[in-house]
Structure 1
Amino acid sequence: MKNLKLIGFLIILASSLMFIQCTSDPIQGEQGIAGENGIDGIDGIDGIDGVDSTASCLACHSDSHRDPIYASYDLSLHGLDPLHTDRGTGDEINTSDYTNRGSCAQCHTSDGYKDYVAGYPINPGDGYPDDLSYPFGKQTISCKTCHSEHRTFDFETDGQDFALRNIDPVVLVYDGTTVVDFEGTSNNCTTCHQPRNSYVIPSGVDDYTITSSRFGPHHGPQSTILEGILGANIAGSEAYPGIGADGDNSHRTGLNGVASNCVSCHMGTTTDDTDGLHSMWPTKNACTTCHTNGAPTEVTDFTADFETLKGLLIAAGSLTESGSTVSGTYPIAVAQATWNWKTLQEDKSNGVHNPKYAKALLKNSIQALQ
């Protein structure tokens, strides 16, 4: 029993000493010398700056780029004011006269063109209604008529498509099979600047009946004249230059390595802010690349031959002084020559679109009637 009491006393004593050691201040030793700073590490390599994702967009989508376009477009026959003056003829042209006709809507209205290039049916009957959201309440051709959204943003690889609604080859409405391809943005022009399919081009040897005062290729044969097709190719002393890029039209195939097309001639660098760009009036700057002595305004002898053929057709009875066709049945040569005169009248380039083709159509038509 005494031993147990002794052991208990020793345990209490040991515990007291441990408590005193844990709660008392430690003994302070002498402070050592601070160590030297270490050497700085090597700076890391700067990262490569990322590509500015908006730079290519701002090249076009900025006020500084678009404001000159708006000013230029106001000078165009396509412009928002539906009443324009044709610089070539001096005639006042109202491009919105036919917006409510279903058969005209695909080119004379904005909605009609959008439906046409998208492959949707054109609004039949009364066509597309006037719209007060457009200037003058008419569906005139505007920016969004021709431009929609980019097919690709890889312009370096795929080329700049300018968000045009159509850059693909165009199947002509005249026959639904002939294809015209100006390889790019000019195809958007061809979509409308082509003959309608209202009348069959006179051919063969039998008499031909003209059924309307509007006989001819309508107002849009510019693309087909440039291509060298859809005239009435009467045999004669003047050779026809051939078709498309395989033909002998330097404006189509290129001269000195420079090929011409709708855009290069009509939307080139402006001369004095009244031509080129979105005015679409041909600029002399585009011509003098090849025509170093100055831009020609017509093919040699075009005006004289054009007036000669007109006189012969008036004498034959198929044409009036004002240039309207006269319904009736005519010898095939008269009908073909009438078609050719109307084609060149509607082309409005004085033969410049395809000089050799225009000359052959005129001179061979004159010879056939004389």
Structure 2
Amino acid sequence: MQGKPSKNVFTVLFLFLMGALLVFSGCEKEKEVVKTVEVVIHDTVFVQIISVDSIYASPDSIAQGGSITLTAEASSMAGTGPLTFQWFAEAGTLDKPEGDTVTWKAPDDPGVYRITVHVTDGENIGIGSRMIGVGMYVPTSSPYYLGADACQQCHQEKGDEWAMTGHAHAWQTLQESGHAQSYCFPCHSVGYDPTPMSGNSGYDEAPIAKFENVQCENCHGPGSEHVGSGVPDPSKISISFDAELCGSCHNGEHHPYFDEWSSSPHAFDPNAEFPTAIPSCQGCHEGVAASIRLANESAEYPLNVFYGGGAISERPDTSEVGLKPHTCQTCHDPHSDENPGQVRTVADVVLVTANNESPVITEGGVGKLCMQCHHARRAPEPQIADGYAHFGPHANPQADMMAGKSAYHGVAPPNFPWAGPSHLLVQNSCKTCHLNMVEYGGPGVPAITGHTFEPTPEACQNCHGTITDFDDIMALDDFDGDGVVEGVQSEVQGLMDLLATALVDSFLARGVDTTGLGIDGVLGDTTLSTYKEREAGYNWVFILDDKSKGIHNPDYAIQLLQQSYQYFTGQPVPNAAIVREENAVVGNF
């Protein structure tokens, strides 16, 4: 027999119905929330049901009146219907209002404009937008470029120097060249990168004035993070001594500076080269220290201070800046056009005190930059008296040879008329002969920049006529006594051979063998060599280390060898014309 439902049953049923009502009511409210709450990620806005994942623009910065293509990508939760796209622009015109891809024509006024797309399945909606810069720059990734004006807020002095360089006019130079192409833009402006989906931190269309020319950020990288916190952070900006930085633009057939440098002696491996890690040698033998020394010539830091002092003491620790070869930045100042070719210095060159003289080279133009390292640096007298493990000048006495200084003059009578400067009197000296430049000759005929630093006979032709070899520069007479008038280099080599034979014969007569030591090794050891051998031998090593076989100063080279031979053997070079005055050696000049 069924009884009436108890009061408790009605109570439970009532509570159940109320709970269900609350649950369904909550779901409906949750659904409403899903349709209205927006989540912002970068410049994309999406709702939970339909997401506008990206709006791709090509390019992302355009000129006034230009056109740009926009493509939206969207996704939806399973179970929704097909998606449709509707576009809106706050200015300018769209070629059509619907579709996942549209073209927008920008207005004539510069500014930043928002393009919006609504994506719907008929019930739910997703909204996305993209900011487009017109006639200006809108970065889409970080770090991004600021332009030179921003850098000069703090670095005004450097900015003023830069404004006088060719880099500051690179865009104008390109436009006036008559062959400007878009592939030229990256090396004539800041941040140009038209690569699709590049995450543009620069720009991808040319007419943005603030990024024209080669500016600070071409070399130092985007500056946004450097100043992003309001306090400049030095760790967020790049300072590079790598040749590859300059070589990214200064290469190729038109201007192969980097390509040529890469095969030059200056492009040595700094971790394999002996002197680079020794602080007392770094002022010439390591790229960073040398750049600091050359850039900071002053009364406090004279350029002739090499050994562990002077400006090279300011070099950052190698844990911060590794050892470098002689890169572009060693010789060239990226910021200043004060000197021709933006070289770091054309200061006078102080040579070593020798023969009771303290010579200073004042001629030579741009070549004086090279001479700051390429000179004897060590005097002959102390080595002749006491010997020296590295007997002779400091490896490369080219400046001394050209000046007619710093060899050992004690082999000649007092008041002997030593020859004076030779190629120092050529405009720009070293640069003229060792960096002979040839313009681009068309496809397959690259320009020559001279940055192998190897001299070419063509560089000599303005003075010495049509020659194809340096030994085509003929001597005026037979200076080595072999009965033949030869080229200057052959005459000098003949004299070198005569003096070397005399020295070795003297060594052997005392039972000293040069095997394994070489002539210079024996000369540097006072237990193996005599004082007189060291006197004559110093000049032999001096000319050997000059490496030009007399070309740098033919008169001085032949005088040194002839006088050394006569002093050592007691007789003049047999059958030779003896040089006792200047301009007596070279014929076709």
Using the TM superposition, give the Cα deviation of residue 264 of structure 1 relative to its aligned residue in structure 2, in angstroms.
0.3
Q: Does 2:451 match 1:278?
A: yes
Structure 1 position 145 matched with structure 2 position 333 = no
Distance 2:456 2:288 in 1: 30
Aligned partner (choices 331, 354, 360) of residue 559 of structure 2? 360
Alignment of 1:138-217 (within 5 A): 138-149=323-334, 151-152=336-337, 161-172=340-351, 177-197=358-378, 199-201=379-381, 208-217=384-393
The change in CA–CA distance for 1:273 and 1:228 in structure 2 (over 3 A counts) is farther
Answer with 110-119 or 340-349: which moved more.
110-119
Q: CA deviation at 1:305?
A: 1.3
Unaligned runs of 5+ in 1: 1-51, 84-93, 154-159
Say which SS state the counterpart of residue 276 (structure 2) adopts.
coil
1:78 lines up with 2:286 in the alignment: no
Assess if the C-alpha contact under 8 Å between 1:168 and 1:183 holds in 2: no
Query: Structure 1 pair 273/133, CA: closer, same or farther in 2 (3 Å)?
Result: farther
Does 2:526 correspond to 1:328? yes
| 1:334-349 → structure 2 map (5 Å cutoff) | 334-349=533-548
1:296 lines up with 2:473 in the alignment: no
1:226·1:354 contact (CA, 8 Å) conserved in 2? yes
C-alpha deviation, 1:269, in angstroms: 2.5
What residue in structure 1 maps to residue 582 of structure 2? none
Q: Does the Cα contact within 8 Å between 1:148 and 1:165 map onto a contact in 2? A: yes
Rate the CA distance shift 1:325–1:56 in 2: closer, same or farther, 3 A.
farther
- In structure 1, the partner of 2:498 is 308
5 Å-filtered alignment, 1:20-39, equals none
Query: Cα–Cα, structure 1 residues 152 and 123, in superposed 2: closer, same or farther, change >3 Å?
Result: closer
Cα 1:189–1:273 change in 2 (3 A) is farther
Distance 1:57 1:218 in 2: 46
Match of 2:403? 227
- Structure-2 separation of matches of 1:316 and 1:57: 68
- Structure 2 distance, partners of 1:369, 1:283, is 36
- SS for the counterpart of 1:289 is helix
Q: Tell me the distance in 1 between the aligned counterparts of 2:401 and 2:171.
A: 36
The alpha carbon displacement at 1:265 in A equals 0.3
CA contact (8 A) 2:332 2:343 kept: yes
* Closer, same or farther: CA 273–177 of 1 in aligned 2, 3 Å: farther
Q: Distance in 2 between matches of 1:116 and 1:281?
A: 25
Write the mapping of 1:231-242 to structure 2, written as runs, cut at 5 A: 231-233=407-409, 234-235=411-412, 240-242=417-419
1:294-340 deviation per Cα after TM superposition (whole angstroms, max 9, x unaligned): 14235342112111211222233399353333211765542221110
| Aligned counterpart in structure 1 of residue 169 of structure 2, from 44, 54, 73 | 54
Is the counterpart of residue 264 in structure 1 residue 264 in structure 2? no
Instruction: Give ranges in structure 2 of 5+ residues lacking alignment.
Output: 1-165, 175-186, 189-247, 302-309, 440-444, 472-487, 570-589
For this pair of structures, how many residues does the alignment match?
282
Alpha-carbon shift at residue 140 of structure 1 (Å): 1.0
Contact 2:392 2:520 in 1 (8 A): no
- 8 Å Cα contact 1:202/1:339 also seen in 2: no
- TM-score normalised by the chain length of structure 2: 0.42
Residue 196 of structure 1: CA displacement?
Answer: 2.1
Aligned to 2:312: 122
Query: Over the residues paired in the alignment, what is the CA RMSD in angstroms?
Result: 3.7
Whole-angstrom distance in 1 between the partners of 2:563 and 2:387: 24
Change in Cα spacing, 1:274 to 1:129, as seen in structure 2 (3 Å) is farther
Verify the 8 A CA contact 1:147 1:163 in the aligned structure 2. Answer: yes
Q: Relative contact order: is structure 1 or structure 2 higher (C-alpha 8 Å, sep ≥ 6)?
A: 1
* 1:93-108 equivalence runs, <5 A: 96-108=273-285
Distance 1:328 1:299, change over 3 A: same
Q: CA deviation at 1:241?
A: 4.8
Shift of 1:268: 0.4
Q: Deviations over 1:78-113 (max 9, x none)?
A: 015459xxxxxxxxxx6x221111221111112221
Residue 132 (structure 2) aligns with: none
Paired residue for 1:218? 394
| 74 and 332 in structure 1: CA distance in 2 versus 1, 3 angstrom threshold | same
Q: Is the 8 A contact 1:252 1:261 kept in 2?
A: yes
Residue identity matched to 1:291: H
- CA shift, 1:54, in A, is 1.3
Matching residue of 2:585: none
Give 3-state SS (helix, strand or coil) of 2:385's partner.
strand
- The code of the aligned residue for 2:312 comes to I
- Give the % identical residues: 25
Q: Which residue of 2 aligns with 1:252?
A: 424
Tell me the alpha carbon deviations over residues 211-236 of structure 1, each in whole angstroms, 9 at most, x when there is no partner: 22311102120011011111112227
Shift in Å, 1:252:
3.2
Give the conservation status (yes or no) of the 8 Å contact 1:202–1:232. no
Indicate if the aligned counterparts of 1:172 and 1:178 stay in contact, CA closer than 8 A: yes
Instruction: For 2:259 and 2:363, locate their aligned partners in 1 and report how far apart those are by CA, in whole Å.
Output: 27
Q: Indicate how the Cα distance of structure 1 residues 243 and 278 shifts in structure 2: closer, same or farther if over 3 A, else same.
A: same
Please give the TM-score of this superposition, normalised by the length of structure 1: 0.65
